[in-house]
Chain A
Amino acid sequence: MADNLLEIRDLAVEFGTDIGTTHALREVSFDVLRGKVTAIVGESGSGKSVTANCIMRLIQPPGRITGGKIHFSPNDAPAYDIAALPNKDPRLLDLRGGSVSMVFQEPMTALSPVYTVGNQVAEAILCHRNVSKEEAFEEAADMLRRVGIDNVDRRIQQYPFEFSGGMRQRVVIAMALVCHPQLLICDEPTTALDVTIQAEILTLIRDLQKDLKNSVLFITHDLGVVAQMADQVVVMYQGRVLEVGSVRQVLKTPVHPYTRGLLAAIPGLATKGARLATIASVVGDADLTTPHPLMTLADGRQVSLSSAQLADLELTDD
């Protein structure tokens, strides 16, 4: 079994709009490690959600995958390229909610208001396994208990609007995990929640990952959350990958000027009372718009820099 559950290579996505084509992703390459938490971090609009949606093939017109591979090596089946699956391929329905599932940013709107929570969680099981409705509801109830919902027998009959935001996100997490996916994608799962509840949900995701030993692709714009959650980090900016490495590498000794900028802008790490650095002030006149290929450094991390910057790097390294 390969170490990497997913190997994404040169992924490109375009959106055709009235005013022209937006290149939402260009040459995106990174791996999702089996049984580990990989984080994608980047500012809003950097292409994090589009990347996640590509993995589940949820990109809808006018968006289109225009190039690249998403090489998926499931634990129990031959590997295949998700990006190349035809729209009618049965593996696609299998993949969605079966071997890969997703937790979305907005728990308030991620569930249909007209079906009970039980119905929507059990549906995930009924879509993928040949079990009776009763069994599906049993399992749904078990999973709801596991994500920390009390009074499950009563709650399972209730509608989403009878749940608070944090509770709804727990329901969505239960729905995503109920088929024991190999990869759980969390797209900013706590951004829409109160700060106190954010921590609870993060702990829950981390604990469940340790229990179920699934891989997690965790999307966030918050480096503090990355430090808490991730094993591996992918830094994205304007539809490109700028830096990939272990949490220690990326957070302790960032190489790319943009990553340094991100880190400098975190309140906790700056000197008390001092003005926060803006990303622009740290990045300085470093050119972020000209693309450079990802180069692998000696310590295994990958970074997208010009040859001049790379040369500088080797000098300062010594």
Chain B
Amino acid sequence: MRAYVIKRVFGMIPTLILISGLIFIVIQLPPGDIVTSTLDRMQSQGLEVSTEAVANLRAQYNLDQPLLIQYVRWIGGFLVGDMGYSYLFTRPVSELVWERLGYTLMITVSSLIFTWAIAIPAGIYSAVRQYSFGDYLITTIMLVGLATPSFLLALMAMYAGYEFFGISIGGLFSPEYRDAPWSFGRLLDFLSHLWIPMVVLGLGGTASTMRILRANLLDELSKPYVVTARAKGVKPMKLLFKYPLRIAINPFISTIGLLMPALISGEAIVSIVLGLPTIGPALIQALIAQDMYLAGSFLMLLAVLTVLGMLLSDLLLAWADPRIRYE
């Protein structure tokens, strides 16, 4: 087991180097850079820009250096927490990133818990009572949920919140708390705003999670080891949890690592609709404005989180399944 962990942890390093290189190249791909988009903006406002100023700007952003040097500087800074300066938000990227990352993680994790809290019991019920009325009912509701785009759900939630509860749903805080320091009141305010994105984002994954669990569990339920356990006199509930369910959840463990990128891309549109200060909307803005340090940092952090997530799911899987542990 220890050898396996060490192997997996060190295996991350080349992956991350490769990803960082790719991200750097992708960011460089569109024609122009921050300086040209700044120039465009200034010239459209009728401002004259001297070639000297342009050169200064280039030097300031290291744009006059060869690409390899630019890359090394960027990734080197990244390692010590210096992620450069966002021209778009006129703040250091690191400040922006940590704040938005924090909110994003909170929303992601809570919507994941929401998804599982609904999908797992529903999936178990549907599999155990296959083809019953309840199974069809759950499946129907889930399919409607699956077919509803999450931004539509977000709009509906905003409307319902405003119409029936008289609260404006946008953002994660009420106006009076938006820039206040953390306090108990602010926390309550945060939680009262959190549930809408939690539900809206969580529902999206619920249907597919439930369907996958149902299918996995149905597969396992007919396996001989389940019959053996039943023939041994294991009580029905214990039987279900200890034998088929225990194996049916393994595929979920292996997808934990993929949830992060999936949720971030799902989150972007919902966050724009709901006005949430998360990574998604900022990433889109940064990419449009070619704010390279900001976009690069977001992408790189997402990559790191994804790779860490994969590591986590591999380790969990090895812990959960002796066949992997002993390979």
Contact = CB atoms under 8 A, between A and B. Distances in A.
Interface of A: 56, 58, 93-98, 101-102, 104, 106, 109-115, 123-124, 127-128, 159, 161-162, 172, 175
A97 B322 contact: no
Given A58-B227, A112-B225, A127-B233, 20 more contacts: A56-B231, A96-B230, A96-B232, A97-B231, A102-B231, A104-B227, A109-B224, A110-B224, A110-B227, A111-B228, A112-B246, A112-B247, A113-B247, A114-B247, A123-B232, A124-B232, A124-B233, A159-B323, A161-B323, A175-B232
Contacts of B322: 113-114, 159, 161
Interface string B307-324: 000000000000011110
A115 B234 CA distance: 15
Q: Which 6 A-B pairs have the closest CB atoms?
A: A97-B233, A97-B232, A96-B233, A109-B224, A127-B233, A112-B225
A94 B231 contact: no
9 contacts: A58-B227, A93-B233, A96-B230, A97-B234, A98-B233, A109-B224, A159-B323, A172-B228, A175-B232
A94 B26 CA distance: 66
A249 to B, nearest CB: 32
Nearest to B222: A60
A96 B234 CA distance: 8
Interface residues of B, number: 21
A176 to B, nearest CB: 8
Nearest to B227: A58
B235 A93 contact: yes
Contacts of B232: 96-97, 101, 123-124, 127, 175
A109 B234 contact: no
A109 B227 CA distance: 10
Contact of B224 (A95, A104, A115): A104
A286 B246 CA distance: 52
B230 to A, nearest CB: 6
A244 B251 CA distance: 49
A58 B230 contact: yes
A124 B239 CA distance: 12
Contacts of A93: 233, 235
Contacts of B326: 159, 161-162
B223 interface: yes
Contacts of A124: 232-233
B146 interface: no
Nearest to A175: B232
Query: Which of B228, B230, B320, B326: most chain A Cβ within 10 A?
Result: B228
A112 B231 contact: no
Contacts of B320: 114
A20 B140 CA distance: 27
A101 B323 CA distance: 28
B231 A114 contact: no
A98 B224 CA distance: 19
B229 interface: yes
A111 B226 CA distance: 8
A109 B233 contact: no
Contact of A109 (B223, B231, B246, B323): B223
A104 B228 contact: yes
B234 to A, nearest CB: 6
A97 B223 CA distance: 18
Contact of B225 (A58, A94, A111): A111
Contacts of A175: 228, 232
